[in-house]
């Protein structure tokens, strides 16, 4: 696992793409830190709320909070009925696993958004990276007042609908590989490569297949240690590795992008 050479001072690039990336990564880290560090207190708090409500209720009850107020007598509330709350009390670990999965999915979104934002910054600085075999219509040309913006919009749409390999190819063709292969230890390169692939593949099965390993996952990552039908459970270790990889990959790529294209 790669070691951060400077754990006391984080890297925040001069460009908007990396500042947005860093803000979201830090928010996710702090959320994970707070919830993980307070897990016993949060569990006890929830159970106490249920027990207090049960003691004061003569029959069925629910706990919850007001989420929107329309008037003194009309409001919208998030309700957790007693029988639904009991599901959480009986298996609090499932709540933690679901929270870890949601954070894992969000890490993939954060990294993908950063890659698109960074590409856009580079394209505006050097439009030559927009060269491709993608076509535009006469109508699109006549309607636009800025050809670079038109081409960039079409490219961003295409990249946002592509997979991990599509983004990797785009940055590789720009001479700015997402994971560099020079001047870094083999162990660090292997870690980043493996986790980068896992972030995309695991996110897909969490988001679209209830966390169950399918044929597509195994086709893309046959040596990831999973078998067909396995259930992916995101624990602290898996989430910690994903955090380390996503932040390391984003920071390193941005440093190289800033240096190569003079981003600010």
Mean pLDDT of the chain: 93
* 233 Rama sector, left if φ>0, alpha if ψ -120 to 50, beta otherwise: beta
Residues 121, 220, single domain; the answer is yes
pTM of the full predicted structure? 0.91
Residues 70, 113, single domain; the answer is no
Q: Which of 71, 90, 109 is the last residue of a domain?
A: 90
Does some domain include residue 20?
Answer: no
Residues 57, 149, single domain; the answer is no
Residues 120, 233, single domain; the answer is yes
Per-residue pLDDT band for 5 (boundaries 50, 70, 90) equals low
52 has a pLDDT exceeding 80: yes
Q: Which of 90, 114, 134 is the last residue of a domain?
A: 90
Residues 85, 189, single domain; the answer is no
Residues 70, 144, single domain; the answer is no
Q: Calculate mean pLDDT across residues 92-114.
A: 96
3 has a pLDDT exceeding 50: no
1 has a pLDDT exceeding 90: no
pLDDT of res. 134: 74
Rounded Cα–Cα distance for residues 10 and 255 (Å): 13
Does some domain include residue 11?
Answer: no
Percent of the chain exceeding pLDDT 70 equals 98
pLDDT of res. 137: 87
Q: List, as one string, the DSSP characters of the chain.
A: ----S-TTS----SSHHHHHHHHHHHHHHHHHHHHHHTHHHHHHHHHHHHHHHHHH-SS--EEEEEEEESSSS-EEEEEEEHHHHHHHHHTHHHHHHHHHHHHHHHHHHHHHHHHHHHHHHHHHH-GGGG-SS----HHHHHH-S-HHHHHHHHHHHHHHTS-HHHHHHHHHHTT--SS--SSS-HHHHHHHHHHHHHHHHHHHHHHHSTTB--HHHHHH-TTSS--TTPBP---HHHHHHHHHHHHHHHHHHHHHHHHHHT--
Structural domain total, the chain: 2
**14-18, 85-89, 179-183: least confident range:** 179-183
**3-17, 120-134, 216-230, 237-251: least confident range:** 3-17
pLDDT in tens, 133-170: 778 788 888 888 888 999 999 999 999 999 999 999 99
Per-residue pLDDT band for 4 (boundaries 50, 70, 90) equals low
pLDDT in tens, 210-239: 999 999 999 999 999 999 999 999 999 999
Q: Which of 40, 73, 90 is the last residue of a domain?
A: 90
Q: Which domain holds residue 245?
A: 99-258
């Amino acid at each position: 696992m790669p070691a951060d050479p400077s754990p006391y001072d984080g890297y925040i690039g001069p460009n908007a793409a990396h500042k947005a990336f860093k803000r979201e990564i830090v928010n996710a880290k702090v959320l994970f830190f707070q919830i993980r560090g307070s897990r016993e207190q949060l569990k006890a708090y929830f159970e106490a709320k249920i027990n207090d409500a049960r003691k004061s209720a003569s029959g069925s009850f629910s706990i919850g909070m007001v989420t929107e107020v329309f008037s003194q007598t009309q409001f919208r509330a998030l309700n957790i009925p007693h029988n639904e709350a009991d599901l959480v009390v009986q298996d609090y670990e499932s709540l933690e696993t679901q929270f870890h999965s949601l954070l894992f999915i969000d890490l993939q979104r954060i990294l993908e958004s950063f890659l698109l934002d960074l590409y856009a910054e580079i394209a505006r600085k050097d439009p030559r990276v927009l060269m491709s075999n993608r076509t535009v219509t006469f109508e699109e040309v006549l309607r636009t007042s800025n050809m670079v913006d038109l081409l960039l919009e079409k490219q961003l749409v295409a990249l946002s609908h592509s997979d991990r390999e599509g983004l990797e190819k785009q940055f590789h063709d720009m001479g700015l590989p997402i994971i560099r292969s020079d001047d870094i230890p083999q162990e660090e390169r292997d870690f980043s490569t493996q986790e980068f692939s896992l972030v995309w593949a695991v996110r897909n099965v969490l988001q679209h297949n209830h966390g169950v390993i399918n044929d597509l996952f195994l086709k893309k990552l046959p040596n990831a240690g999973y078998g067909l039908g396995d259930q992916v459970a995101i624990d602290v270790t898996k989430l910690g590795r994903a955090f380390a990889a996503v932040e390391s990959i984003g920071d390193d790529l941005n440093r190289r992008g800033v240096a190569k294209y003079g981003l600010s």
